[in-house]
Amino acid sequence: MIGLSPETTPTRRGEIMTDGVITKKGVSPGKTLTIMAGVHGDEICGPEAFKELIPTLDIKRGTVHFIVANLEALTLGERQVDMNLNRAFRPNKLLTAKERGTYERKRALELMPYLRESEALLDVHSSMTKKSKPFIICEPHSFPIAKRLRFGIRSHGWDVIEAGGTDYFMNTMGKIGICIECGNHNDPKAPKLARESIIRFLTIMGAIDGRLPRECKSQKVMHAFGIYKTETNFRKAREFEDFEPLPKGTPIGYDGKKKVLAPENMLIIFPRNQDLPGKEAFILGRYE
């Protein structure tokens, strides 16, 4: 668990860690915020950033919940135990009976109260794609904050195609929900980017002191406009980079025996082989 034990543990200066949650309070009033890491258990850049940052961070204003989300998956070193935790933050009626019985759904229900009391969320992720570009996932109401994080791309449209994430849950309440993808899981730059982004986010939100980070003028905007789900299973035709541009008609892979081609000029994101029907094989995007 990378030094973050799931048990209730008293930490420095009276901060309490309960079941993966450390709450730090400033002496002055301010916003309530949540920083989340380890929603997927194989994405260790967030928990690594927490380990270094949390003991040193001096929260001046408001309340910040630091949450290590998928404790069991992190212990296993796997993406998930029973289901994708980032699809479990949905109303009950949008989940199957099987999904409602999973560890991840139970964990999502435990974590929802922290999100309900927070004004804004930063959720730290990384990608299994080897050549992955760091990018931001958020909807346009969070763009003013996303612009000040040091990423080359901010993307939107994900709530429609992949409902049930932590940022989706915040968006349904009209709050700020920002997910950062910090690059490949094993890229040593990923935890550094995670740390820097957490500091920028807390500065922008007024929780810590510091100069307001500048807007990244070169940041591109990408619309995630579609998702390919398997009919039977999926095998990639080759390795792809995240955000690789594919001209219309490019072979992407096979769904069973059926060839899957790019339906139009598109960018491909998160391509992955899948063994079962109804699974997410890749995301389709375009720059705006």
Q: Which parts of this chain interact with Zn ion (CB under 5 A)?
A: 40, 43, 125
CA atoms within 13 A on the CB side of 223: 5
123 and 178 Cβ atoms separated by less than 8 Å: yes
What does residue 48 show for φ and ψ, rounded to 5 degrees?
-65, -40
- Which residue intervals of 22-130 are DSSP H helices? 45-53, 71-76, 97-100, 103-116
Shortest Cβ 29–Zn ion spacing (Å): 33
The whole-angstrom separation of Cα 199 and Cα 208 is: 8
The whole-angstrom separation of Cα 8 and Cα 109 is: 18
- 123 or 255: CB nearest Zn ion: 123
- 167 or 255: CB nearest Zn ion: 167
Closest residue to Zn ion in the complex (CB) = 125
- 24 or 125: CB nearest Zn ion: 125
- 40 or 148: CB nearest Zn ion: 40
- 73 or 260: CB nearest Zn ion: 73
Shortest Cβ 167–Zn ion spacing (Å): 11
Shortest Cβ 257–Zn ion spacing (Å): 31
- Which residue intervals of the chain are DSSP H helices? 45-53, 71-76, 97-100, 103-116, 143-146, 158-161, 166-172, 189-204
